[in-house]
Amino acid sequence: MNSKNLFMNNSNIIKKYVFLGDTDSINIEIIAKSHNYLKKKIQYVVIGNKKELKEYLIKIKLDIKVNEIADPISFKNYKKTCINIFNTENKHKEKYRNLLNQINLSNELSCSTKFDLVTMPINKSIFKKKIKFIGMTEYLGKINKCETMMLMYGEMFSVIPLTTHINLKNIHKNLNKIKIKKKLNIMMNLLNSKKYKLNFSIFKFLCYNPHCSENATIGNEDKLINQLISKYFKNILGPYPADSAFINFKKNTLFISTYHDQALIPYKIINKKGFNFTLGLNYRRLSPAHGTAKDIKFKNKSDNTSYLACMLS
């Protein structure tokens, strides 16, 4: 993956923020096992609860000191040998409210400094049970009052799903001409923005139905997609049957899917160094291409490849 394809920090010393995310996960293990390598290359401040961080490090028996940062904007009293954290107290009984505070603070810091924000995974279900919450991409768009899209950037190919974390039975509601055209216009405007310096030259739209609807005998969705991109988006090819689209591809290819798993499954199997990149914000927000992996917490089985890609891009 060529990090020059994404816009970089202006500072000579690369500085980033890391939202700690859900600590009932592999997040801290990944941060800790990556620290000795990263400390020689960048400076980063973790945004989260110091007590939770220290307790977790004790449980996984990693002897890494934690340093509390006084000023997360100036990085005052930064110590590269330590994991540096800007402590946020858990003021609420509800976990999701504490995490929202951390997300909001992280966003404010990156908006102010333009330093990258790397968000570690969260358990979205604890948010969904309390508030309307689709995902981090959509939430950051909401609080920043801007249109955002999820780009899954990979070293082999990249993907953008037009719908993300919604029930499959509701996807067809987002497949009328007006909604698809609006999303594709937003997508192309963001991808063409000079600040990203993305070099995609091949755009392939994936069919919604199996075998591209088999001449409209399964449904009319793919006929609609074909008519739309043929008329308004000459640089987008397709639509292509999703079951064979990933057999042949070039590294500068961007696949556009109508729903999440259609593209994310082959993306995660084929790409080894990919990450989630949010288009539309006035700073770079990146996130590892995996979940909380609670089932392997404390087992030293986590893979930090995607996290390192976020931190070094």
Asked, for residue 275, whether it belongs to a domain, the answer is no
Rounded distance between C-alpha atoms, residue 204 and residue 217, angstroms: 23
pLDDT band for 299, please (50, 70, 90 cuts).
confident
Which pair of tokens denotes residue 94?
């509800």
Whether residues 260 and 285 fall in one domain = no
pLDDT band for 63, please (50, 70, 90 cuts).
confident
Asked, for residue 105, whether it belongs to a domain, the answer is yes
What domain range is 64 assigned to?
1-149+281-313
Strand partners, 204: 237, 255
Residue 2 pLDDT greater than 50, yes or no = no
Whether residues 59 and 5 fall in one domain = yes
Asked, for residue 302, whether it belongs to a domain, the answer is yes
Structural domain count of the chain: 2
Whether residues 227 and 168 fall in one domain = yes
pLDDT band for 256, please (50, 70, 90 cuts).
very high
Instruction: Please state the rounded mean pLDDT for residues 47-74.
Output: 95
Instruction: Please state the rounded mean pLDDT for residues 45-64.
Output: 95
pLDDT tens digits for 10-48? 447 899 999 999 999 999 999 999 999 999 999 999 999
Give the pLDDT score at 194. 82
Whether residues 199 and 139 fall in one domain = no
pLDDT band for 9, please (50, 70, 90 cuts).
very low
Q: Which strands form 202-206's sheet, in the order they lie side by side?
A: 66-68, 83-87, 43-48, 15-19, 116-119, 285-288, 275-279, 149-153, 158-161, 253-257, 202-206, 236-240
Find where tokens 């080894």 sit: 272
CATH label of the domain that carries residue 211: 3.40.718.10
Whether residues 100 and 228 fall in one domain = no
Whether residues 222 and 262 fall in one domain = yes
Whether residues 210 and 234 fall in one domain = yes
Rounded distance between C-alpha atoms, residue 241 and residue 248, angstroms: 12
Enter the pTM of the model.
0.91
Whether residues 71 and 108 fall in one domain = yes
Whether residues 94 and 15 fall in one domain = yes
Whether residues 163 and 254 fall in one domain = yes
Asked, for residue 111, whether it belongs to a domain, the answer is yes
Residue 128 pLDDT greater than 80, yes or no = yes
105, 19 contact by CB (below 8 A): no
Q: How far out from the chain centre does Cα 182 lie?
A: 22
pLDDT tens digits for 188-226? 999 988 888 888 999 999 999 999 999 999 999 999 999
Tell me the percentage of the chain whose pLDDT exceeds 90.
Answer: 81
Whether residues 228 and 299 fall in one domain = no
Give φ, ψ of 213 to 5 degrees: 75, 5
Asked, for residue 66, whether it belongs to a domain, the answer is yes
pLDDT band for 248, please (50, 70, 90 cuts).
confident
Peptide linkage before 239 cis (omega within 30 of 0): yes
Q: What is the mean pLDDT of the chain?
A: 92
Strand partners, 16: 44, 116
Coil/strand/helix, residue 48: strand
Count of residues making up the chain: 313
